[in-house]
Structures are given as structure tokens and as C-alpha cells.
Amino acid sequence: MPSLGVQPLCTEQYGSRGAQYYLPSPDGCLSCVGDEPGRVGWRSLREIFMSVFLPQGYPESVSQDYLRYQIWDTVQAFASSITGALATQAVLKGVGVGDHTSTVTAATVTWILKDGTGMLGRILFAWMKGSKLDCDAKQWRLFADGLNDLAIFMEILAPAFPACFTLIVCISGFFKCIVGVAGGATRAALTMHQARRDNMADVSAKDGSQETLVNLAGLLVSLLLIPLVADRLQLTYALYSLFTALHLYANYRAVRAVCMETLNRARLRLALHHFLCQGWVPTPTHVNPQEPLLPAEFQQACKGNSRSYLIALNRKAGTVAVALARGTNSVDTIQACAHALLLEALLCQTLPLGAVEGEMLQELQRQLRGAPDRETWAVLTETHQLLDRFFPQFLSGLVSAGWVTDRNLLGAEEWRLDWTPKDKKVL
């Protein structure tokens, strides 16, 4: 606070970016010293830019990873805008723009087929994968951008194969609509993570403003590049390769910058393995950089078995089958998934004599790998007992480390099971 000479009666703060102090004056009124809250956002071009393109209350109103993510997201959007312009030029050339022998009808039919195929792809992808996009938002975001680059490459190549032009652009449109679904859904999931004051609409709107500004810059650069690449295929391919490499790298850095506190399968797996080996639960900032970003290795069913779940193991198939009980809450689901991950670790990994139940884990691993199929249930019972002993400590460690446990991204489907107690007859 500046040296005022008089003790202020009150102080008014505009987030972390400015303050004003109200002082008593001889005439009985209040005098104001410092920035005026209503105008603090307009003091300079920097403040104007922040007010237009950043959520209100930044940086307190968003997650700590917001700025790093948005910087790399801006870079990838610019690169994608340039390659998209190259693809648009190629498609327009392919449908006959500038060719006096082409007809409007043929071009219109090609465009309608392209859009129609894309609409079909949008519906099918949303049906097949829509429920999984929240759980692995980072992986699906990378998938969407990689598929988008492939679709653009197909459009750039399409004019070189006139006999197959319509088929190629239809497949490209199919891919691009999948990109639209996956990209839009994962963007919503990331926006939910970034919004820390129930300000999803503001964060989303400002993200749209940032993207519009970047696309405008991309259009201006494209106006300079398009005349240079006309009828110069080698230069077109070189520019595509350059900006695609930048696009993929920026996307990788963007999703690596995201540090999510909710538990999905990969993050829970890493946290549990670390807890079993080291005896303490890692923080989200420790686990997120280790999360695999390629579609993945752990695609088995993950839930649990006790009062709130039933579990079965098929060692030959390498799968864990889990049924959640009706009324299961988020903590129950985390425990169920932790049990499944524990079984996976016992079957597939070498567990050291760590700080948590090390000798017991070694013994269970030996029994599970060597036991006949008919004795598997006995070993499963022992894993139940082991999990009951250490899960409360693990859960407490998750909360202390900053993980969110009242909701999760573990991908449990909506099916729930009611099992009848043995002493209850079923009519």
C-alpha cells in the first residue's frame, strides 16, 4: 500500500490487479487514492487485451495451468489455420474452380456428398465413443488433432487423383466431423477443469475470442501464402509438413501443460502404484506429467469387489470383470478401480518390497501367478482383505495431496447390480 499519510477508512480491490483507498476529507466527504476499480482494466493496452481475451478475475478465476495451456493452444490453432487454408485451396481446385470444363452441378454434388458423409461420421462417433471422451480428455484431444492433420493431408493430395477425388474428400469430411466431436467434447472437459469460480461460460467465451483472433491472424498470413503456393505442389507440401509438425508439437505441449486433479484410470493407476511402492500418495503435479497420452494400454474394465462391488478375474484373457452396486458413490468407484489396478499390478508388474504391505504383496503375487484356476477366488478374498487395510490410508493420502475424490473420470458405465443376500429367497 502506498504511503498515504492518513489511515484509509476502507480499501477496494479489483482482483489482484489494482486497488483504491478511501480517505476522509475536511469537507466530510471521501476522497479516493489509487486505481479506480471500474477503470482498472483500461489503464493500458495490456489491460485492454486482458479484459477482452482473458476470463474475468484472471489469474485467480482459472486453474494454474491455464496460461501455459492457452499459449500452446494458440500456437497449434495458428498452425492449423494455415494448413486448413492450403487444404481449402486444394479442394476448391479439385471441384473445378478455375476449370471451364467443370460444371456447377458436379461441384455441388461433390460438396453435398462430402458434408453428408461427415454428418454420418459425427453421429456414429458420438454414439460409439461419446461416453469415453471425459475420462481421457488429453488422449482424445491429441487423437482429434492428429486425425485433423490426416484429413487435411488427404484434401491436399486429392486433386492429384481426379478419379478418386470425391471418395477422398468424403473420407476427409468423415474424419473432420469426428475431429469436431472429439475436439469439442474434450475442449468442454478442459474448460470445466480450468474454470474455478463456476465461470465455465466466461472461460469458454474468452477461449472462443482467443481462437477467433488467432484464426484472423492465420487468414492474414494465408492471404500472403496462397498466391505463392498456387500450382507449386512442392512448396505446398513443404509448408504443410512444417506447420503440421508445429501443430502436433504445440498440441502435445498443450495437453502436457494440463494438470487435472480428478482421477481417471491412468492417473489412479500411477498414484496407486506409487503409494504401494513408496508409501505416500503423489500430488497431481507429480502424476500428470507421467500420464500416457497415446490411446492405451489400460483398456480393461476397472471397478471393484466388496460391499459396493463384485469382482472377477480371468487370468487367461487378462481381464478384470467388475459390477458396481446400485447407489455406489465416487469413493466406492475409486476403491473398485484401485482393486482392479492392484490385481493388474500383481499379475503384470514386479512390485518391490515397498513401504505398504510389501511382504504381503509379494506373497499374493506368487500365489496369484501360480495358483490353479479353482483357487483364484481364495486369492481374490485375500486381496479384498489387503485393500480394506490400506485403502483408507490411500484415500486420505489422495485428499491430502490435492486430488478430487467426490467425483472422478474413471469411465464407469451406467449399469448397476443388485445382488440378493443368501438368506433371502427369490420368488
pLDDT at 47: 80
- Alpha carbon distance 313, 246 (integer Å): 44
pLDDT at 41: 43
Least confident among 136-145, 192-201, 230-239: 230-239
Instruction: Return the sign of the alpha-carbon dihedral for residues 340, 342, 347, 349.
Output: positive
Which run of H or of E encompasses 407? Answer: strand 404-409
pLDDT at 322: 82
Confidence of residue 101 (pLDDT cuts 50, 70, 90): low
Query: Left if phi > 0, otherwise alpha if psi is -120 to 50, otherwise beta: which for 251?
Result: alpha
- Residue 425 pLDDT > 50: no
Residue-range domain boundaries for the chain: 10-43, 66-258, 263-409
Domain 66-258 classification at class level: mainly alpha
- Determine the average pLDDT of the residues in 139-161: 92
pLDDT at 204: 93
pLDDT at 43: 59
- Determine the average pLDDT of the residues in 173-193: 91
- Residue 21 pLDDT > 80: no
pLDDT at 300: 33
Half-sphere exposure of 199 (CA within 13 A, CB side): 19
**Cα maximum dimension of the chain:** 94
DSSP-based three-state secondary structure for 318:
coil
Higher-scoring residue by pLDDT: 147, 327: 147
Confidence of residue 210 (pLDDT cuts 50, 70, 90): very high
- Determine the average pLDDT of the residues in 384-398: 91
Half-sphere exposure of 192 (CA within 13 A, CB side): 14
- Residue 148 pLDDT > 80: yes
pLDDT at 24: 75
User: Residue 68: which of 253, 227, 203, 214 has the closest Cα?
Assistant: 253
Instruction: Return the sign of the alpha-carbon dihedral for residues 224, 229, 234, 236.
Output: positive
Q: How far is CA 226 from each of CA 5, 95, 156, 220, 240, rounded to the nearest angstrom?
A: 63, 17, 13, 10, 12
- Determine the average pLDDT of the residues in 189-201: 91
pLDDT tens for each residue of 283-337: 999 999 999 887 553 333 333 334 688 888 877 777 888 888 888 899 999 999 9
Least confident among 163-167, 171-175, 417-421: 417-421
- Residue 35 pLDDT > 70: no
Confidence of residue 374 (pLDDT cuts 50, 70, 90): low
Least confident among 28-37, 277-286, 354-363, 389-398: 28-37
Higher-scoring residue by pLDDT: 333, 378: 333
Q: Is the peptide bond before 59 cis (omega within 30 degrees of 0)?
A: yes
pLDDT at 5: 60
- Alpha carbon distance 91, 79 (integer Å): 19
Q: What is the mean pLDDT of the chain?
A: 83
pLDDT tens for each residue of 331-370: 999 999 999 998 888 888 766 656 577 778 888 888 887 7
Confidence of residue 2 (pLDDT cuts 50, 70, 90): low
DSSP string, 274-300: HHHHHSSPPPHHHHGGGS--SS-S--S
pLDDT at 142: 92
User: Residue 333: which of 415, 276, 421 has the closest Cα?
Assistant: 415
pLDDT at 297: 36
pLDDT at 296: 57
